[in-house]
Structure 1
């Protein structure tokens, strides 16, 4: 499929902005950045206002052949909404459906939806990684909303003929990362003693460079149509290993206490932080063999390189 004009929603966000920058470097594509707020992309490409919640809709998709939908109400640690599921549905389901129907009506050929591994579930057992075709088992409002959006998109694809591609990433890291991963780097840089030195879990992550590479591959790969793909660096680590490797990339030594996992969970429970303990101590692995087989795709960025790039970003951020 020959493609030139690509609309990217959430273009002021971590993933969406990275996709637009990658497309700007590839002369095959002309990106259109759709963003709710201000973006650093002004002057680099066409920027159009867009609010997934419905306040601002894209008035024209003239000439757009592919949509990469990165805008979303993301998972938050301290949810403040009275009815979190309703709020996630309003943005991630209803907003996505409006966008997809507008795209189909405008003649868009393919709609690439960035979903979440949370559609599959929250954790995996040893030797049983998630794969793309397992029955979804989302456990929280965010995961449920992403699953419902996937279902709605498949229905729209059947009704309209617009091709839908679904990508479910785990935790994404790399230059531009924020939230907990950025906090982790600050702790390591400052030499904070962390009680995570004896966690033997296995978790899949994906570097932003690898996720973006897969998304660009799916823009015009003929075999991507109608498929759901999982993505990762294909190099799983324990929480302890991640902290040690990230500290090494920062030129530091991780100061980790080997507290037993049962004690970590007990302390977290006392403070109402069971979800934090789950993410730190449980395993969550994904099998990308389908992605490799169907698309011939392999992660182009090694974990070592991705961590170095993330460390460089952190140092630049600290020195501003």
Structure 2
């Protein structure tokens, strides 16, 4: 009999892709939906709810084997909350643990939690990538909330029969990606000269299809039980390399000016954009050796193929 999965975040960038893959692979899917206008794939059972921290989920897990929890209060720039950490904790910690406790009480076998590399920290030194077993060092409210959720889930797993799998993605990109990645494609498409031609950092990224493949693997692989996994494409890129290869995917020429990184960092600091300079000039790399060896998993999609898919979607649906 097909495995039954309860999915949260089904209308989001990652959760929507997970839903489509689950349906395509023959899973029975229930999806938690907040808004009455939200739509799901044909055959998916919609479960309406109000908030994660107040909903009674106990009746939703009848016949459910596993939960994939993609929903979260995500990291936002210029957060307007008076107490951002409290706001993140309410959804990402209290809401997650309420959902997980009721799943365990209902006899759900496995709970897959989509966490964040921000649990590890904000940056790495060249040649020293993060590993899944590193001591967490979150630096912002979002990362702290994800770490606390992880801790609560692992404690729950230690005293119940429900396995917990934690996946910490790096930056996810793919068809329909928004925010800075979408802006990057627009700049390249319009031929805007960019001062990023001499950046020698190392950034790990993960294609949406690669992340989804690992999530599906973690649902069924016995070796995933009660483990933490980092996930990436398995190939690190500098900002300069990423821009050049994205330009190729867009069939454009990258107009990159060789401005030294230290100049960009100094200018960003003066303008109060230190976090932006870290994302553009700093390194954040991960070692997925544990993911590869324990799950016999490898990213099925190459970086260039994934960039081409993102570029194709941009040209068809996002180009202005």
**Separation in 1, partners of 2:29, 2:316:** 27
Deviates more, 1:37-46 or 1:134-143: 37-46
1:8 offset after TM fit, Å?
0.9
Decide whether the 8 Å contact of 2:20 with 2:41 is kept in 1.
no
Aligned to 1:39: 38
Find the counterpart in structure 2 of residue 206 from structure 1: 206
Does residue 190 (structure 1) correspond to residue 197 (structure 2)? The answer is no
TM-score (norm 2): 0.96
Q: Is residue 3–residue 219 contact of structure 1 (8 Å, CA) maintained in 2?
A: no
SS at match of 2:86: helix
- For residues 53 and 291 of structure 2, what CA distance do their matches in structure 1 show? 33
TM-score, normalised via structure 1 length: 0.96
Aligned to 1:26: 25
Residues in 2 aligned to 1:239 and 1:230: alpha-carbon distance in whole angstroms: 21
1:39 match: secondary structure: coil
Measured in 1, the distance between the counterparts of 2:249 and 2:157 equals 44
Would the alpha carbon gap of residues 51 and 92 (structure 1) be closer, same or farther in structure 2, given more than 3 Å must change? farther
- Where structure 1 has 5 or more consecutive residues not aligned to the other structure, the ranges are none
SS at 2:194 equivalent? coil
Q: CA deviation at 1:234?
A: 0.3
Contact 1:49 1:56 in 2 (8 A): no
Q: Give matches, 1:89-108, under 5 Å.
A: 89-108=89-108
Give the 3-state SS of the residue equivalent to 1:67 in structure 2. Answer: strand
**What displacement does 1:55 show?**
5.4
- Residue pairs, 1:114-153, within 5 angstroms: 114-153=114-153
Q: CA RMSD for the aligned pairs?
A: 1.5
Counterpart Cα distance in 1 of 2:279 and 2:42: 40
Q: Which runs of 5+ in 2 are unaligned?
A: none
Asked if 1:6 is matched to 2:5, the reply is: yes
Name the counterpart of 2:231: 231
**Aligned-pair CA distance for 1:226:** 0.6
Paired with 2:79 and 2:195, the residues of 1 have a C-alpha distance of 25
Change (3 A) 1:52 1:191: farther
Structure 1 residues 73 and 282: alpha-carbon distance in aligned structure 2, compared to 1, 3 A threshold? same
SS at match of 2:60: coil
> 1:163-174 to 2 correspondence within 5 Å?
163-174=163-174
Q: Given the superposition, is the C-alpha separation of residues 40 and 82 from structure 1 closer, same or farther in structure 2, using an over 3 Å criterion?
A: same
Contact 2:2–2:28 (8 Å) recurs in 1: no
Per-residue Cα deviation, 1:18-61 (whole angstroms, up to 9, x for no partner): 0010011112x111121223434154411112355435554521
Aligned to 2:268: 268
Please tell me whether the aligned partners of residues 51 and 57 of structure 1 are also in contact (alpha carbons under 8 angstroms): no
Whether the aligned pair in 1 keeps the contact of 2:6 and 2:68 (CA below 8 Å) is yes
Paired residues in the alignment total 318
Within-5 A mapping of 1:31-110: 31-37=29-35, 38-41=37-40, 43-54=42-53, 56-58=55-57, 59-110=59-110
Shift in alpha-carbon separation, 1:311–1:44, aligned structure 2, 3 A: farther
Q: Secondary structure at the match of 1:113?
A: strand
Question: Quick one: structure 1 residues 48 and 42, their matched pair in 2 at CA, closer, same or farther if it must change by over 3 Å?
Answer: farther
Question: In the alignment, which residue of structure 1 is the partner of 2:287?
Answer: 287
